Amino acid sequence: MLTKVQIRRVLDTMGEMFPDAHCELNHSTPFELAIAVVLSAQCTDALVNKVTPGLFAKYNGPEDFLEVPIEELENDIRRIGLFRNKAKNIKKLARTVVEQYQGSLPESRDELMELSGVGRKTANVIASVAFDVPAIAVDTHVERVSKRLGICRWKDSVLEVEKTLMRKIPEDEWSVSHHRFIFFGRYHCKAQSPQCEQCPLLEICREGQKRMKQRVGNER
């Protein structure tokens, strides 16, 4: 497992590699962000960003989602995986926001998690990006990178990864670290082809060293 000094190096290095890391889901309001994050489950941000411009042009707020039949909303998001289930969640989410929160998205994570289609990860993203609440949302990239580097254990659950990162990373860096871990995992330490040979963290990365040894062995 990485030491406190090594984790500081990880954070600084990721900051140098991805100084402008940010949420890549296009949105202009907290509610639009919530819809985009719900749509992004098991789907790429790039695909979501192809669908949301037309969606948000048609639906200006939660009230608009309640005025159309579910079949129409399904058709509007048909390119997104699991679109039927997501359409149901969006309708329920919009109704809750209108009926319980006067049309404005709640700001607390606990209240966000009560919305349909919003789990802990989604609530953390919304709280962090829309309301500047310090949070670490653990998606597939954050989990993979933290475990490969040895910040977290391989056997850790998603919740354990979140709690470990919150404990080992300064609170005022939670949100920016979340985005940098995602960029690091999405564009550098990829699931199938991590760029270990040119990684500035190779000498402290247990997984990277293992992969490089295997690569050398295969070349002999």
Catalytic residue among 121, 147, 163, 190: 121
CA-based nearest residue to 138, from 110, 119, 114: 119
Distance CA 182, CA 139 (A): 8
Is 28 in a helix, a strand, or coil? coil
The Cα angle at residue 146 between residues 115 and 3, in degrees rounded to 5: 130
Number of other CB atoms surrounding residue 204 within 10 Å: 19
Binding site, residues? 189, 196, 199, 205
Binding site for [4Fe-4S] cluster, residues? 189, 196, 199, 205
What secondary structure does DSSP assign to 48-88, as a single string?
HHHHHHHHHHH--SHHHHHSS-HHHHHHHTTTSTTHHHHHH
Active site residue 121: yes
Determine the distance from the C-alpha atom of residue 21 to the mean position of all C-alpha atoms in its chain, rounded to a whole number: 12
Catalytic residue among 58, 139, 156, 172: 139
**Residues annotated as catalytic (active site), given as ranges:** 121, 139
